Amino acid sequence: MKKLIFCCLVVLMGACKDDKKDPEPEVDYAKDLVGVYETTTVEAGVSSNHKWEVTTEVKNQLNIKYTKNSKVSVPGSTFDVTQEFPLVAVKATAQDTFEINEKVDVTQNVGGALNVRLSGIGSRVVNGSGVPQINITLKFSESSAGAANVEQYLEFKKK
């Protein structure tokens, strides 16, 4: 009889056990990266202001409106070039990192249509002055204009 009661208790305890474990919700890393970031570069007679307006609408996915305003100096004249790169599928892969890998139709104020693949892995850090910034080596490739592939290291500071 004791064995029967013990068996019933074991079966009853097993039946009452809560097998439903709620899965932990996926963390949204994208929201920590939202904001406006800017940087300036000077290379071979070209001064460029880079601006990223980072937003998010979907968990762990960023939208980046990347605007690059450049002043190109050649002997006797200076040209202003504005390019906009709409990045719509940037993946936030961890708390302070994200990955860009998409083909973009670039809007620009000079020349014809331009189609570029942008890729790179960015990381958000806090610099020595206490200002959040994004560091990334951005690769520009597969240009529809036939230009050479370019890599550029950028440090965007949050505004």
Segment 22-35, tens digit of pLDDT:
666 778 999 999 99
User: What pLDDT, on the 0 to 100 scale, is given for residue 10?
Assistant: 67
Contact 73/80 with Cβ under 8 angstroms? no
Burial class (CB in 10 A: 0-12, 13-18, 19+), 30: buried
Segment 132-152, tens digit of pLDDT:
999 999 999 975 556 678 899
User: What pLDDT, on the 0 to 100 scale, is given for residue 96?
Assistant: 93
User: What pLDDT, on the 0 to 100 scale, is given for residue 21?
Assistant: 66
CA angle 65, 66, 67 (to 5 degrees): 115
Contact 97/121 with Cβ under 8 angstroms? yes
User: What pLDDT, on the 0 to 100 scale, is given for residue 15?
Assistant: 62
Compute CA distances 31 → 60, 93, 146, whole Å.
Answer: 8, 12, 36
Which residue ranges make up each domain of the chain?
A: 30-158
One digit per residue, the tens of pLDDT, for the chain of length 159 reads 666 676 666 666 666 655 566 666 778 999 999 999 999 999 988 999 999 999 998 999 999 999 999 999 888 899 999 999 999 999 999 999 999 999 999 999 987 778 899 999 999 999 999 999 999 999 999 755 566 788 999 999 999
Name the token pair of 106: 């670039």
Sequence-distant (≥ 6) Cβ neighbours of residue 97 within 8 angstroms: 121, 122, 123, 124
Is the model's pTM score more than 0.85? no
